[in-house]
Structure 1
């Protein structure tokens, strides 16, 4: 009883505060305007960040590793210039002309436009182990001896044995896939695709792609440079395009910002259209929207103070919070209109509306806020910030209605305005309210069977780890970037292992090569490269063997050899002339890839993904991250690879691990909040029934529709728990009032519930039209959940309450509180 008295006192306080604002509207509105101006001031410099790295806590090893990488090695990826629409010779001339000019731009460190094949072909025998090199020498010696014997007319061979083989494919196979081979590449010397008519130049910027302003600066510099060039000399159809990591970051940001603007605008338009239909009054629409707009201003003022920027999810909260906030206005203004039509004066109607309906709205907002705060448990910053900002927004929306709506109604009533009242005795809700008491058994069974059937399919649901389905890969720069990767033969963005010594470099390469060999076809590593590994050991010993091979081959007359043997031995003759080399002798284009920002080399190991794994494929990235992490050094230290791909792997692991815990926390926090505010555990459980059935049924519906969870849309489940529970609260609270008539209560409350759920869904409807597939998936899932909840709360839940009430009557139970005691 003590808890009940506490809730009654809180109801009374809300009614009194609303009445005070009604009596002193000017003062209340002045306070609201000041708060709104402050919110706008603090929100004025908000920016949108779509950087993956910023979505994890800074304490995460993968985040710390990538920050070290950026400070020492610079950003990953390139600004890629593509020339296309010309003959191969013209494309090569373009590359030759543009490469040195691009390299002179202030933000470009170097330009790579040719494969270093000549150097690696010439020195390829130095990459063969000494024992294998001696094996090659032995085979060549045996063949030379055999050829000399064949050329000697006095020599008689007693058998018809085959000549000694000079096939070295078995030895070559041992070294296939090494960094020197992969970096030298196949095909043309230039990064050229004759079939596509494309040539590629890769410009390495000085800064990081994570800095959006820098990305815009360097891409603009390159695009302006290309615009100033006379490209007509390369052919009439010749043109250029820019792609690469830096360009894709800008395009992705532009898509998200465009989606943000469209979603917010569309949500606002849809809200206004619905409210106009719902109230049939322009002033009622204004009275509902002004507190929402003010509340959003206050909320984003808090965001500006607390975070200074929004991320992929929090950027769209305005549309979502707008829809959720309008729901309170629909209930409050609808109840106010009903009370005025019953003869109450304006102040009394405001007092009564906020005392009962306002308290129910507060419960709903508090419950939603606690649900959103369950997301704040996540280490995933996108979820944590979404949860905190949404929780603040829900509570702020109630305060804005408490401050502004009574003041607006107070001013309007002084000029003789009264709301247009929807007749509860007519309309579809009234018809449904009269039909349900006659057909509640069939409805309860039908809805129950349907929900159970949906829940039975929940086991089929799966988690989609492929981030490619969540990004806009239809962008021209993304499509072109994939073609560039095909031309290169490997990814432009390897992950990086930073080391402190040459010995550590070699040890990292050794361990990664061993892991690749151990996993065989299941390995996710394509190849591993390090400067120290690109300079082979025992070059002096190898040089002696090569000199011996060269001396013997030089005594042969190639014209007297069979054609197949001649080609092999001629190639061996040319390769055996190569001299030992150091890091300084490596091609500049190769050394540049291992340079730190200060120009020093060494300490960098590049690891390229392979085995059919794309670093945008979440499941493949998770396997890749396990293969390249946790390298134990002889001194006891441990090193790991760093890169955005590993950030993605951490995010996927975190979300899949935290999802069930967050959902459980959301349900328990909602139950606790409702128990505290409603005063009875039984009442709280009853109010949660529609929400729990909706969420469980949604999972099964997703399986039937072949929809999957992903690391963005999984947050919809706890959000639905918090945003749909208020429908049950409003219905149970009103039906529990003494003397409540089911038909009239259902008609009035059902109409408000429908409007509330529709407006809540509107914010998510806007996401359905976004170009970003990840945001689409959030919109799809949320709207399916709202639709399912609408059916359950308008049909199944009332039918269940009626069924329980009739059962209680039949068994002689008291029936004066059918809903609250059900």
Structure 2
């Protein structure tokens, strides 16, 4: 027996000092829950990348330079154009008066003055050739094509006047969903106070609206999956143990461990991201494993006739080392994610590993005194001994594992999902935000937000970047918001005016309408050094390959080194590159750590060899299942691979540890049935944690749940079939 198992007579301490132990655990859990309740969920992709990623560095630099990037598009519609126009004007006036400066920079409801200015100064936006053509068509060169429309209508009017759009520009970016939700709520409150007339509908669209909608969905899904997981896990435990008190003991120990875990996350990391927000069910499903093994062994001894103190002592001493190493194996797989720079992986790994460690600690600190206090009534029954698998069954199991393993090897390398539609919210297209987004897009396009943001340091760099973008023949880049497109140089203005015989003073930046000046003026007063390239007709924003192609095209323009490039698509491309780089590294480290712990546990023994082969069987089985079902990985479901490696070491370790204990005690295979049942229950609770994710509204969360479920099934096969079969064949030989 190792020194770790004999340092303290923990069973005796847990029995005689149960009240202070439980009081301390309850107090610490209450404090931990209060701390964990302050965790916030951040869902933007920029928080998943390392802080020094080029696109993130550029994003922060551009955010500091730009006055704002976030907009809310407010649509007002009715069957009567006059009613629509009247309410739109009333709403815009109310928004200007009611929204505070920290939420609203400006409300833009009419671009007619801007268009009138440029129609009065056509040489700013028309080339020399276009001006000559206009001169040939019109007698007055200052009002090109305005004879039939002397007072242009608002550019924010569509559907023959039945639809109006207001653009609310905010003094913050798209990556701040809390502020975006506050702005959206304030706009809705203003609309409610105005009591829209009968037949007038008001809707909202834009990146702020989409981000707020998806943020709310994540929070809703976190709550739903947590409740589902709790109910299902408790139900399975009640069915298995057939004892409400046993379930209460397990739930108490698990609750303490989970509270400690998320309090640690609050202190060490400070927030949850779109990956770690769903760790609750997984921490619970995996963290309860050690408690199940301990409780199962305790009940086994009680049913054999041992009194409480003796049964608890045997259960603790016989399970302490195997469960410690099994939990360490799973935690090591999680810790392997710390080797990556991708924060979705590293933070997930840190919290999951802490969860395994703290839940194991809570199991041995809290469960023994709880079992003492609850005083489980155990009805003795005849203990059925276990038998080793027959040689035929062992051979069949190994052959099946080899076949699955070969299929898994042929499926390498793992494939990634290309269609991003499958990863988004399934309710968004049918939601109010999705419907209004399509309606406003159809009338006004997508030039209010989004695109590739490019920050230069000088007017010369602006002209260089603009020239390269305009020369691109790919069709990826569409409309380009750049000051030279609206305000050519003095010499160029004079040259254009000369082509139509016009003698006017060239327009300077100070002559431009105030909204234009404000849009191009940076926080430090510099003007016109930031460009926005909006997506063109050839841009495929729902495809990973399409986004990579666009970002590659932009970065391939060989712009000066000090030019900053960022935007949602650039960040996503960098994120996928980090994922595909991080996954192999995490997988190798995870496998090395899992195998190392198996060697520590078993050394050069039959069980050690069986454990190493079981890890391979579990991982290759998952890969084979992914390939057979056509499941492709994404930035989130890739996490399932290193997690599966950890579980592939965890479950067989418990099985083989019991086989070795029984062999050394001269009773080979005696406890195989009981331990196998406990491992099956461990797998069931973990599988529930993954299965509830399939109810998520977000496709990326569902894909992670499915990939992890396939890995769980493969690891269970490796533990219950492959590991005993290999041990049986090795003993026979």
Distance 1:19 1:213 in 2: 51
Post-superposition offset of 1:291: 0.9
Aligned partner of 2:142 in structure 1 is none
Q: Encode CA deviations 1:124-171: one digit per residue, 9 max, x unaligned.
A: 5555555x579869x979xx9xxxxxxxxxxxxxxxxxxxxxxxxxxx
Aligned partner of 1:526 in structure 2 is 478
Query: Which of 596, 600, 611 is residue 687 of structure 1 equivalent to?
Result: 611
Post-superposition offset of 1:118: 5.0
SS state of the match for residue 38, structure 2? Answer: coil
Distance 1:582 1:473 in 2: 49
Q: Are 2:443 and 1:487 equivalent residues in the alignment?
A: yes
Contact 1:631-1:640 within 8 A present in 2 as well: no
Aligned partner of 2:454 in structure 1 is 497
Query: Which of 290, 302, 321 is residue 328 of structure 1 equivalent to?
Result: 290
Contact 2:401-2:617 within 8 A present in 1 as well: no
Aligned partner of 2:31 in structure 1 is 38
Aligned partner of 1:696 in structure 2 is 620
Post-superposition offset of 1:241: 1.2
SS state of the match for residue 15, structure 2? Answer: helix
Q: Encode CA deviations 1:674-699: one digit per residue, 9 max, x unaligned.
A: 22243347644421333321221222
Q: Encode CA deviations 1:318-369: one digit per residue, 9 max, x unaligned.
A: 2111111222122111111112222333223222212222211111111111
Query: Which of 396, 400, 403 is residue 447 of structure 1 equivalent to?
Result: 400
Q: Are 2:19 and 1:23 equivalent residues in the alignment?
A: no
Distance 1:527 1:421 in 2: 79
Aligned partner of 2:107 in structure 1 is 111
Distance 1:753 1:42 in 2: 33
Distance 1:535 1:199 in 2: 29
SS state of the match for residue 240, structure 1? Answer: strand
SS state of the match for residue 190, structure 1? Answer: coil
Distance 1:228 1:478 in 2: 24
* 1:309-388 correspondence to structure 2 within 5 Å: 309-388=271-350
Aligned partner of 2:650 in structure 1 is 726
Distance 1:774 1:134 in 2: 52
Distance 1:50 1:421 in 2: 52
Q: Are 2:593 and 1:628 equivalent residues in the alignment?
A: no
Contact 1:497-1:606 within 8 A present in 2 as well: yes
Aligned partner of 1:292 in structure 2 is 254
Contact 1:340-1:418 within 8 A present in 2 as well: no
Contact 2:81-2:160 within 8 A present in 1 as well: no
Q: CA RMSD in A?
A: 3.1
Distance 1:409 1:256 in 2: 37
Aligned partner of 1:419 in structure 2 is 378
Query: Which of 427, 434, 438 is residue 474 of structure 1 equivalent to?
Result: 427
SS state of the match for residue 671, structure 2? Answer: helix
Contact 1:46-1:309 within 8 A present in 2 as well: yes
Q: Are 2:497 and 1:543 equivalent residues in the alignment?
A: yes
Post-superposition offset of 1:750: 1.3
What runs of 5+ residues in structure 2 fail to find an aligned partner? 140-151
The alignment covers a number of residue pairs equal to: 707
Post-superposition offset of 1:781: 1.0
Query: Which of 185, 189, 198 is residue 220 of structure 1 equivalent to?
Result: 185
Aligned partner of 2:6 in structure 1 is 12
Q: Encode CA deviations 1:538-584: one digit per residue, 9 max, x unaligned.
A: 2112212202xxxxxxxxxxxxxxxxxxxxxxxxxxxx899853334
SS state of the match for residue 395, structure 1? Answer: helix
* 1:573-592 correspondence to structure 2 within 5 Å: 580-586=506-512, 590-592=516-518
Aligned partner of 1:789 in structure 2 is 715
Distance 2:48 2:405 in 1: 37
SS state of the match for residue 638, structure 1? Answer: coil
Q: Encode CA deviations 1:418-455: one digit per residue, 9 max, x unaligned.
A: 435676539xxx7xx68x42641563266236514642
Q: Are 2:242 and 1:277 equivalent residues in the alignment?
A: no
Aligned partner of 1:78 in structure 2 is 71
Aligned partner of 2:143 in structure 1 is none
CA shift in 2, pair 1:676/1:343, >3 Å: same
SS state of the match for residue 390, structure 2? Answer: helix
SS state of the match for residue 228, structure 1? Answer: helix
Aligned partner of 1:246 in structure 2 is 208
CA shift in 2, pair 1:513/1:421, >3 Å: farther
Distance 1:623 1:397 in 2: 45
Distance 2:131 2:374 in 1: 100
CA shift in 2, pair 1:22/1:684, >3 Å: farther
Aligned partner of 1:557 in structure 2 is none
What runs of 5+ residues in structure 1 fail to find an aligned partner? 1-6, 145-186, 548-575, 809-822
Contact 1:123-1:578 within 8 A present in 2 as well: no
Aligned partner of 1:47 in structure 2 is 40
CA shift in 2, pair 1:786/1:134, >3 Å: closer
Contact 1:86-1:197 within 8 A present in 2 as well: yes
Post-superposition offset of 1:299: 1.2
* 1:62-101 correspondence to structure 2 within 5 Å: 62-88=55-81, 90-101=83-94
Post-superposition offset of 1:388: 0.9
Distance 2:470 2:82 in 1: 39
Aligned partner of 1:663 in structure 2 is 587
CA shift in 2, pair 1:257/1:792, >3 Å: same
Structure 1 or 2, whichever has the larger Rg, is 1
Contact 1:524-1:620 within 8 A present in 2 as well: no
CA shift in 2, pair 1:440/1:97, >3 Å: same
TM-score relative to the length of structure 1: 0.79
Q: Encode CA deviations 1:364-384: one digit per residue, 9 max, x unaligned.
A: 111111111101112121211
SS state of the match for residue 672, structure 1? Answer: helix
Q: Encode CA deviations 1:586-639: one digit per residue, 9 max, x unaligned.
A: 455544543435786422211112243254543322222233347666xx6421
CA shift in 2, pair 1:445/1:225, >3 Å: same
Contact 1:632-1:638 within 8 A present in 2 as well: no
Distance 1:511 1:744 in 2: 75
Query: Which of 749, 760, 764 is residue 690 of structure 2 equivalent to?
Result: 764
Contact 1:275-1:285 within 8 A present in 2 as well: yes
